[in-house]
């Protein structure tokens, strides 16, 4: 048995299969986003939080219905909490072609 698979088995036993999957997922996400986003660039300093729904094709967003469900759910949440909402939806088609900006 390879050393990597032995370590994986030990970790899964020690922390559980679900926790192991979550940890591995977070590590993979961090590596993925480091390719696209730099930590050295200063973060934007907005007076109030802005929620941005992004469907730009860099990750699997699901089908059109899944994307619209996520978009509408986040919009509804922002409306209930009185928060600013923006959408960057430009994968497959440009959403501006079908919906009117508010």
The number of beta carbons lying within 10 Å of the beta carbon of residue 94 is 10
pLDDT attached to residue 27: 72
pTM: 0.54
DSSP bridge pairs for 52: 86
Residue range 7-57, pLDDT digits in tens = 666 666 666 666 667 777 777 777 766 766 666 666 667 788 888 888 877
CB-based contacts of 74: which residues, under 8 Å, 6+ apart?
51, 53, 85
pLDDT attached to residue 52: 87
Cβ(80)–Cβ(48) under 8 Å?
no
pLDDT attached to residue 38: 65
């Amino acid at each position: 048995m390879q050393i990597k698979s032995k370590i994986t088995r030990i970790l899964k036993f020690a922390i559980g299969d679900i926790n192991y999957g979550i940890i591995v997922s977070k590590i993979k996400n961090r590596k993925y986003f480091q390719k696209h986003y730099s930590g050295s660039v200063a973060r934007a300093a907005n007076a109030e939080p802005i929620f941005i729904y992004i469907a730009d094709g860099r990750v699997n967003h699901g089908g059109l219905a899944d994307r619209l469900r996520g978009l509408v759910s986040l919009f509804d949440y922002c409306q209930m909490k009185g928060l600013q909402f923006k959408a960057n939806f430009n994968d497959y088609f440009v959403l501006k072609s079908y919906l009117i900006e508010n």
